[in-house]
């Protein structure tokens, strides 16, 4: 009976496995194959020469990569600090209000990211909502608040907040109340409870939230384009340019592979450090 | 004997909205004693202990610990500690790190911490190898000991217990009850224990406080609570009991329905003229004889009541009989196995006991 169940399980999973192989694995393999092709070819029937990787090192692409990773790291760190109290409130303090908060945050996802970012452009630009009103009221204007690195990080923080908030709230809800109370009873201050009890016990949520925001922010392109006005060029932008304007598929593929390798390594390390079963609701 | 007071509670109130959970609680806990607060669920005992350790604030009243007012002191600055019902061990730490937690918080160095944790493992009869075990690898009884060790590592002035044994099976509970009592004797600390189990309270405590609906019904040594309860509630809470309403007329004549009192016994009951009360006798203090009553070994009963045998129950070490009293009430008699009563259901029986084996509850 059990063997039949297992076979039926494999059988029912087959369509999904095929779909994943075709839509997820196949493009990845194609990209990996293209990345080793000679420069500016459009088919895979060439002698691999890895010239795209050499090109990647010669040109200043590492700068774009550093900007992407740096800004992703900054926004992840900011989001972690910003979302902790909010997630704590959602998980532990106002239980009834949590639904309203959840709906509110999720609702922002209903509007396309680009449109929301354009909203910020209109708010922050010279003659926009903020500067325009200040000039109208005081007679003193100032420069546009856009087109700098901090505003790109702000954009990343704004767009990826839900991806940090919900895993974090889930993680914090796994911290038993009595463990916190016991720590306090045994003399621990608020800070010690946070560090010794809450952070380790909420670790799966913290890791998932950080990975999601970091991975998404590393691949983000709209924030630097719209809010940053390309004051810096991010790696995703370089990949896009290589494929379209540059007409150099192997270069674009090589860039993509490097990005995948870096982000993939970080993700694997992160996932291995915590017990993901716990956050999926399975008890140890 | 003059005991030194370590904890003094005066006029403690706790309200949750319109609900008053604690009603003007006064209590003195003596240095080094084992005090158990017993009450049915919802009687407010958990609320009370949460106020003691600072997890909640009283609506009104004061708590003094060795002359220092602590009800306004936050939990993490009180020299008290509690063993939780859930134990509240830290699942992400090893046994050793759990025990060391309070020492780490107070800044004790690693080597001293480790030594202290190993000493505590010894004290609680846990093998030293458990130092590196994870909490989820420990059995229920072992976790219990780890929680105790952690609390003792904190070295509290008073150790509080919130029904920590309630989740364990019967045999383990019995073992740990005795271990706890032994631990109390060896450490000399003041233990305040709450439970809904009378048995637990009887085995371990020096004094028992009976709680009901946010008030103390009676506080005293276990023996006194058992044999001289202050109210019907306490009498019935402390196990099976036979109760007979008694009344003294204005001229002093005692009326007790169905009870036959030997001459002179009525006067010695201590019932004031015009007052009413309940005569209480425990099942094990009642002797039962067939019909009119053949001679029984031991002192002759001074108070007797007739009835009909209904059923016999085997309680293991003892036998229990259910008897229908003169006004149809259910009476209970218990004897050791050796004292088996030979009668069969329906037999007319006479129950009897001496005056010093029963107790008069005033009022009602």
* pLDDT tens column, A224-261: 888 988 788 899 999 999 999 988 899 999 999 999 99
Out of B77, B88, B136, whose CB is closest to A182?
B88
d(CA B283, CA A199): 57
pLDDT (mean) for B306-313: 90
Query: Would the CB atoms of B90 and A197 count as touching at under 8 Å?
Result: yes
Contacts of A284 in chain B (CB under 8 A): 91, 136
d(CA A85, CA A74): 18
Q: How many residues are listed for chain B in this entry?
A: 364
Query: Would the CB atoms of A201 and B91 count as touching at under 8 Å?
Result: yes
Residue A10 within any structural domain of the chain: no
Q: How far does A234 lie from chain B, in Å, by closest CA?
A: 39
In order of A42, A96, A196, B7, B158, the CA distances from B64 in angstroms are: 84, 37, 31, 6, 12
Q: By CA distance, what is B155's nearest residue in A?
A: A186
Residue A149 within any structural domain of the chain: yes
Q: How far does A84 lie from chain B, in Å, by closest CA?
A: 20
A141 Cβ under 8 Å from any chain B Cβ: no
A187 Cβ under 8 Å from any chain B Cβ: yes
Query: Would the CB atoms of B76 and A184 count as touching at under 8 Å?
Result: yes
Judge contact between A242 and A254, C-beta under 8 A: no
B82 Cβ under 8 Å from any chain A Cβ: yes
| pLDDT score of A216 | 94
pLDDT at A165 > cutoff 50: yes
B336 Cβ under 8 Å from any chain A Cβ: no
Q: Judging by DSSP bridges, how do beta strands B190-195 and B158-162 pair with one another?
A: parallel
Which is nearest to A124 in space by CA: A192, A23, A226?
A226
pLDDT (mean) for A207-236: 90
Phi, psi of B348, rounded to the nearest 5 degrees? -80, 130
Eight-state DSSP code of residue B28:
E
| pLDDT score of B255 | 81
In order of A133, A279, B79, B188, the CA distances from A187 in angstroms are: 52, 29, 8, 22
Q: How confident is the model at residue B160 (pLDDT cuts 50, 70, 90)?
A: very high
Q: ∠ CA(A182), CA(A186), CA(A189), 5° rounding? A: 95
Residue A130 within any structural domain of the chain: yes
Contacts of B92 in chain A (CB under 8 A): 200-201, 203
Q: By CA distance, what is A203's nearest residue in B?
A: B92
What does the pLDDT look like over A183-205, one tens digit per residue? 999 999 999 999 999 999 999 99
Query: Would the CB atoms of A186 and B54 count as touching at under 8 Å?
Result: no
* A262 token code pair: 């870096």
What does the pLDDT look like over B108-139, one tens digit per residue? 999 999 999 999 999 999 999 999 999 999 99
Q: How many residues are listed for chain A in this entry?
A: 284
**Domains by residue range for chain B, with CATH:** 5-235 (3.40.50.300), 240-362 (2.40.50.100)
| pLDDT score of A280 | 55
Q: By CA distance, what is A274's nearest residue in B?
A: B92
A182 Cβ under 8 Å from any chain B Cβ: yes
pLDDT at B293 > cutoff 60: no
| pLDDT score of B1 | 47
pLDDT at A283 > cutoff 50: no
| pLDDT score of A284 | 42
Q: How confident is the model at residue A5 (pLDDT cuts 50, 70, 90)?
A: confident
Query: Would the CB atoms of A178 and B86 count as touching at under 8 Å?
Result: yes
pLDDT at A130 > cutoff 60: yes
Note which residues in 129-158 of chain B have CB less than 8 A from chain A. Answer: 136, 150-151, 154
What does the pLDDT look like over B99-111, one tens digit per residue? 999 999 999 999 9
Q: By CA distance, what is A283's nearest residue in B?
A: B136
CA B119 to chain CA mean position, Å: 31
| pLDDT score of B338 | 80
**Which of B51, B57, B84 should one mutate to test binding to chain A, selecting the residue with the greatest count of A CBs within 10 A?**
B84
Contacts of A179 in chain B (CB under 8 A): 88-91
| pLDDT score of B296 | 58
Phi, psi of B118, rounded to the nearest 5 degrees? -65, -40
pLDDT (mean) for A120-129: 89
* A15 token code pair: 């369509």
Contacts of B56 in chain A (CB under 8 A): none
Q: How confident is the model at residue B347 (pLDDT cuts 50, 70, 90)?
A: confident
pLDDT at B298 > cutoff 80: no
Residue A30 within any structural domain of the chain: no
pLDDT (mean) for B49-69: 92
Residue A161 within any structural domain of the chain: yes
| pLDDT score of B269 | 79
Looking at per-residue pLDDT, the higher value among B26 and A230 belongs to B26
Kindly report the number of other CB atoms within 10 A of residue B243's CB atom: 16
Looking at per-residue pLDDT, the higher value among B196 and A277 belongs to B196
Q: By CA distance, what is B151's nearest residue in A?
A: A186
Domain that holds residue A197: 61-279
| pLDDT score of B104 | 94
Residue A104 within any structural domain of the chain: yes
Phi, psi of B36, rounded to the nearest 5 degrees? -115, 130
For every residue of A182-247, DSSP letters joined together read HHHHTT--HHHHIIIIIHHHTHHHHHHHHHHHHHHHHT--HHHHHTSTTSS--HHHHHHHHHTTS-
| pLDDT score of A254 | 92
| pLDDT score of A49 | 86
pLDDT at B272 > cutoff 90: no
Which is nearest to A202 in space by CA: A120, A89, A113, A279?
A279
Q: Which of A55-64, B152-161, B179-188 has the lowest mean pLDDT?
A: A55-64
pLDDT (mean) for A165-175: 92
Residue identified by tokens 């740096």 is A70
pLDDT (mean) for B269-297: 77
Residue A24 within any structural domain of the chain: no
* B143 token code pair: 């976790």
Q: Which of A233-247, B41-55, B282-296, B298-312 has the lowest mean pLDDT?
A: B282-296
**Which of A185, A192, A195 should one mutate to test binding to chain B, selecting the residue with the greatest count of B CBs within 10 A?**
A185
Contacts of B151 in chain A (CB under 8 A): 186
Q: What is the CATH number for A226? A: 1.10.3720.10
Q: By CA distance, what is A176's nearest residue in B?
A: B88
Pairs of CB atoms within 8 A across A/B = 64
Contacts of A187 in chain B (CB under 8 A): 76-77, 102, 105-106, 154
Query: Would the CB atoms of B76 and A176 count as touching at under 8 Å?
Result: no
| pLDDT score of B364 | 59
Which is nearest to B349 in space by CA: B326, B315, B319?
B326
What percentage of residues in chain B have a pLDDT greater than 90? 50
What does the pLDDT look like over A11-29, one tens digit per residue? 899 999 999 999 999 999 9
Domain count, chain A: 1
Out of B77, B81, B90, whose CB is closest to A179?
B90
Query: Would the CB atoms of B136 and A284 count as touching at under 8 Å?
Result: yes
């Amino acid at each position: 009976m059990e063997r039949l169940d297992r076979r039926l399980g494999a059988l029912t999973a087959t369509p999904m496995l095929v779909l994943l192989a075709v839509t997820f694995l196949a493009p990845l393999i194609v990209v990996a194959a293209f990345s080793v092709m000679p420069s500016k070819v459009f088919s895979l029937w060439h002698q691999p020469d890895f010239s795209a990787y050499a090109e990647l090192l010669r040109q200043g692409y590492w700068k774009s990569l550093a900007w992407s990773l740096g800004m992703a790291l900054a926004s992840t760190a900011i989001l972690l600090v910003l979302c902790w109290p909010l997630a704590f409130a959602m998980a532990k303090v106002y239980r009834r209000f949590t639904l309203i908060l959840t709906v509110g945050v999720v609702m922002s996802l209903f509007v396309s990211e680009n449109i929301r970012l354009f909203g910020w452009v209109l708010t922050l630009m010279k003659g926009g909502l903020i500067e325009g009103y200040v000039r109208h009221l005081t007679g003193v204007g100032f420069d546009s608040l856009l087109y700098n690195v901090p505003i790109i990080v702000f954009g990343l923080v704004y767009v990826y907040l839900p991806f940090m908030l919900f895993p974090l709230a889930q993680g914090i809800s796994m911290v038993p109340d009595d463990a916190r109370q016991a720590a306090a009873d045994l003399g621990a201050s608020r800070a010690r409870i946070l560090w010794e009890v809450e952070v380790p016990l909420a670790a799966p949520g913290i890791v998932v939230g950080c990975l999601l925001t970091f991975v998404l922010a590393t691949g983000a392109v709209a924030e630097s384009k719209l809010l940053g006005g390309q004051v810096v060029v991010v790696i995703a932008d370089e990949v896009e340019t290589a494929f379209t304007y540059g007409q150099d598929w192997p270069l674009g593929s090589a860039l993509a592979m490097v990005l995948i390798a870096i982000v993939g390594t970080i993700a694997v390390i992160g996932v291995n450090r915590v017990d993901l079963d716990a956050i999926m609701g399975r008890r140890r | 004997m003059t005991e030194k007071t370590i904890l003094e509670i005066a006029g403690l109130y706790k309200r949750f909205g319109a609900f008053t959970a604690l009603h003007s609680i006064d209590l003195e806990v003596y240095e080094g004693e084992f005090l158990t607060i017993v009450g049915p669920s919802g009687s407010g005992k958990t609320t009370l202990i949460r106020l003691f350790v600072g997890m909640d604030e009283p609506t009104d009243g004061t708590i003094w610990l060795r002359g220092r007012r602590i009800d306004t002191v936050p939990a993490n600055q009180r020299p008290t500690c509690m063993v939780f019902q859930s134990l509240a061990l830290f699942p992400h730490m090893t046994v050793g790190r759990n025990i060391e937690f309070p020492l780490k918080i107070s800044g004790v160095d690693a080597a001293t911490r480790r030594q202290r944790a190993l000493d505590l493992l010894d004290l609680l009869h846990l093998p030293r190898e458990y130092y590196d075990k994870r909490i989820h690898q420990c059995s229920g009884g072992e976790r219990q000991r780890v929680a105790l060790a952690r609390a003792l590592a904190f070295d509290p002035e008073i150790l509080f217990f919130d029904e920590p044994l309630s989740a364990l099976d019967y045999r383990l509970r019995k073992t740990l009850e005795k271990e706890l009592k032994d631990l109390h004797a060896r450490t000399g600390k003041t233990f305040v224990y709450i439970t809904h189990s009378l048995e637990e309270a009887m085995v371990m405590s020096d004094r028992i406080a009976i709680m009901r609906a946010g008030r103390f019904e009676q506080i005293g040594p276990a023996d006194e609570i058992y044999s001289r309860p202050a109210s019907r509630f306490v009498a019935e809470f402390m196990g099976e009991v036979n109760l007979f309403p008694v009344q003294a007329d204005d001229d002093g004549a005692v009326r007790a329905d169905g009870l036959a009192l030997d001459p002179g016994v009525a006067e010695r009951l201590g019932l004031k003229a015009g007052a009413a009360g309940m005569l209480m006798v425990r099942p094990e203090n009642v002797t039962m004889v067939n019909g009119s009553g053949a001679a029984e070994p031991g002192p002759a009963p001074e108070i007797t009541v007739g009835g009909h045998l209904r059923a016999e129950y085997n309680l293991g070490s003892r036998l229990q009989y259910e008897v229908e009293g003169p006004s149809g009430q259910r009476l209970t008699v218990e004897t050791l196995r050796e004292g088996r009563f030979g009668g069969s259901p329906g037999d007319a029986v006479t129950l009897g006991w001496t005056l010093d084996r029963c107790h008069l509850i005033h009022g009602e």
